[in-house]
Amino acid sequence: MTAMLQILEKDGAVVGELPGLDDGQLKELFVHMLRIRVLDGRMLKLQRAGRIGFVGTSTGLEGSLVGAASGLEAQDWMWSGLREGGAALVRGLPLAEYVAQMYCNSNDTAKGRQMCNHFQHKGSNYPSWSSVIGTQITHGVGAAYASQLRGEDVVHSIHLGDGATSSNGFHSGMNFAGVWKVPAVFVCVDNGWAISVCSREQTAAESYADKAVAYGMPGLEVDGNDVLAVHAAMASAVRRARAGEGPSLLVLKTYRMLGHSSSDDPSKYREDSEVAWWQERCPLERYEAFLTQRGLLAAGEREALERSLEAEIDAVIHEQESAAPMPLRSLVEDVYEEVPRHLRLQFNAFLEVAERRGEATRGDGAFPL
Ligand SMILES: Cc1ncc(C[n+]2csc(CCOP(=O)(O)OP(=O)(O)O)c2C)c(N)n1
Ligand SMILES: [Mg+2]
User: Residue 154 — pLDDT band, cuts 50, 70, 90?
Assistant: very high
CA of 134, closest atom in ligand 1: 1
Same structural domain, 333 and 290: no
Element (H, E) at 160: strand 156-161
Evaluate whether residue 12 is within a structural domain: no
More confident residue, 351 or 224: 224
User: Is the confidence at residue 364, as pLDDT, over 60?
Assistant: no
Same structural domain, 249 and 218: yes
CA of 260, closest atom in ligand 1: 19
CA distance 50 to 277: 32
Same structural domain, 209 and 348: no
Same structural domain, 247 and 159: yes
- What pLDDT, on the 0 to 100 scale, is given for residue 38? 98
Evaluate whether residue 72 is within a structural domain: yes
User: Is the confidence at residue 212, as pLDDT, over 90?
Assistant: yes
Same structural domain, 54 and 172: yes
Ligand 1 centre to CA of 322 (Å) is 33
CATH code: domain of residue 300: 3.40.50.970
Q: For ligand 1, is residue 348 a contact (CB within 6 Å)?
A: no
Same structural domain, 271 and 346: no
Which residues does 342 contact at the CB level (< 8 Å), separation at least 6?
none
Evaluate whether residue 30 is within a structural domain: yes
Same structural domain, 91 and 236: yes
Evaluate whether residue 17 is within a structural domain: no
More confident residue, 217 or 357: 217
- What pLDDT, on the 0 to 100 scale, is given for residue 1? 59
Residue 185 φ then ψ, to 5°: -125, 125
Range of the domain at 350: 328-357
Same structural domain, 206 and 272: yes
Evaluate whether residue 4 is within a structural domain: no
User: Is the confidence at residue 26, as pLDDT, over 90?
Assistant: yes
- What pLDDT, on the 0 to 100 scale, is given for residue 369? 52
Please count the structural domains in the chain.
Answer: 2
Find out whether 90 and 36 touch, Cβ atoms under 8 Å: no
Evaluate whether residue 316 is within a structural domain: yes
- Closest ligand to Cα 253: 2
The DSSP annotation for 38-88 comes to HHHHHHHHHHHTTSSS-----TT-HHHHHHHHTTS-TT-EEE--SS-HHHH
Same structural domain, 204 and 346: no
Find out whether 254 and 286 touch, Cβ atoms under 8 Å: no
Evaluate whether residue 367 is within a structural domain: no
Residue of 117, 133, 160, 199 with the most ligand 1 atoms within 8 Å of its CB, for mutation = 133
Same structural domain, 258 and 241: yes
Same structural domain, 227 and 105: yes
Evaluate whether residue 365 is within a structural domain: no
Same structural domain, 344 and 288: no
Supply the pTM of this predicted model.
Answer: 0.95
Ligand 1 centre to CA of 170 (Å) is 13
CA distance 32 to 66: 7
